[in-house]
Amino acid sequence: MATTIFFLALLIVSVIFLITTISIAVMMLAALFITEVPFLPVPKAVVDASLSLFKFSDARPIFYDLGSGDGRVVLAFAEEHASAVAIGYEIGPFPYLISKLKRWRLRTRNAHFLFRNFFNDDLSDATHIFIYLFPNTVEKLHEKFLKELKPGTQVISCDFPFKTKEPILKHKLGNGLSKHTLYIYEF
């Protein structure tokens, strides 16, 4: 009798685990189809380098991470610059939920996450922007930036440069599979 109960409990736990795993996989695949960009976490070295490359002259910087994933860049910026407003845009449901949980756990008051498409919002108040997106999205953003950003707004693009704008600085870091290039622009 005890053996039967044990195997029944084991079966129930296994089924719950399998359903949870499949649900997470389906959410991640759905996010890929919704966003057209897979969730690729930004390495800590990229986050640290980006924060050190931004120049600050505003008393209250307004930072955007477009396609903020799990929120690591937004949260790092918010923690390093307490007077800043740090905003992450994410349309993938799973990474968005993770970022909201991380913000709640860290209690970072100046970090905010928006579950919506950044192409539909006005970004003209930005002083600093970080992007880690595929080339076709980067090019679409270039057009949006030219129309909306005020002079002096700084943009860092990880790995994918704008085709028609020269960066003011290229910063290479890492090697092998963890090699990245940060392209720093001023609009």
Three-state SS string over 16-37 comes to HHHHHHHHHHHHHHHHHHHHCC
Give the Cα separation of 153 and 25 in Å (integer).
38
- How high is the pLDDT of residue 121? 97
User: Domain-by-domain residue ranges, the chain?
Assistant: 1-35, 44-186
The answer to pTM > 0.75 is yes
- How high is the pLDDT of residue 175? 82
Q: Which fold has domain 44-186?
A: Rossmann fold (3.40.50)
- How high is the pLDDT of residue 29? 62
One digit per residue, the tens of pLDDT, for the chain of length 187 reads 778 887 777 778 887 877 777 766 666 565 556 556 677 888 999 999 999 999 887 678 999 999 999 999 999 999 999 999 999 999 998 899 999 999 999 999 999 999 999 999 999 999 999 999 999 999 999 999 999 999 999 999 999 999 999 999 999 998 877 899 999 999 9
Give the Cα separation of 187 and 168 in Å (integer).
10
Q: Is 76:110 a contact under the CB 8 Å cutoff?
A: no
- How high is the pLDDT of residue 174? 85
- How high is the pLDDT of residue 36? 63
- How high is the pLDDT of residue 77? 95
- How high is the pLDDT of residue 5? 82
Three-state SS string over the chain comes to CHHHHHHHHHHHHHHHHHHHHHHHHHHHHHHHHHHCCCCCCCCHHHHHHHHHHCCCCCCCCEEEEECCCCCHHHHHHHHHCCCCEEEEECCCHHHHHHHHHHHHHHCCCCEEEECCCHHHCCCCCCCEEEECCCHHHHHHHHHHHHHHCCCCCEEEEECCCCCCCCCCEEEEECCHHHCEEEEEEEC
For 135, the token pair is 């080339």
- How high is the pLDDT of residue 30? 58
- How high is the pLDDT of residue 34? 58
